[in-house]
Amino acid sequence: MGAMKILAGNSNRALTEAIAAYLGVPLTKCQVRRFADMEIFVEIQENVRGQDAFIVQSTSYPANDHLMEMLIMIDALRRASARRITSVIPYFGYARQDRKPGPRTPISAKLVANLITRAGADRVLTVDLHAGQIQGFFDIPTDNLFSAPVFVREIRERLELNHIMVVSPDVGGVIRARALAKRIDAPLAIVDKRRERAGESEVMNIIGDVAGKACILIDDIVDSGGTLCNAADALLREGAREVYAYITHGVLSGGAVARIAASRLKELVITDTIQSTEAIRVSNNIRTVSIAPLIGEAIARIAKEESVSSLFD
Give the model's pLDDT for residue 182.
94
**Amino acid identity for residue 223 in this structure:** D
The answer on whether 272 is annotated among ligand-binding residues is: no
Q: At what angle do helices 292-303 and 13-23 cross, to 10 degrees?
A: 60
Low-confidence ranges of the chain (pLDDT < 70): 1-2, 195-201, 203
Give the model's pLDDT for residue 194.
73
The answer on whether 204 is annotated among ligand-binding residues is: no
Of 182, 193, 213, 304, the active-site residue reads: 193
Picking from 21, 29, 79, the residue whose alpha carbon sits closest to that of residue 300 is 21
The answer on whether 147 is annotated among ligand-binding residues is: no
Give the model's pLDDT for residue 203.
63
Instruction: Write down the CATH number for the domain with range 4-146+293-312.
Output: 3.40.50.2020
Give the model's pLDDT for residue 19.
98
The answer on whether 65 is annotated among ligand-binding residues is: no
Tell me: the pLDDT tens digits for 242-286? 999 999 999 999 899 999 999 999 999 999 999 999 999 999 999
| Catalytic site includes residue 193 | yes
- Same fold yes or no, 4-146+293-312 and 148-290: yes
**Phi/psi of residue 224, each to 5°?**
-75, -25
Give the model's pLDDT for residue 196.
62
Domain boundaries, the chain: 4-146+293-312, 148-290
Instruction: Write down the CATH number for the domain with range 148-290.
Output: 3.40.50.2020
Picking from 122, 111, 40, the residue whose alpha carbon sits closest to that of residue 74 is 122
Q: What is the pTM of this model?
A: 0.93
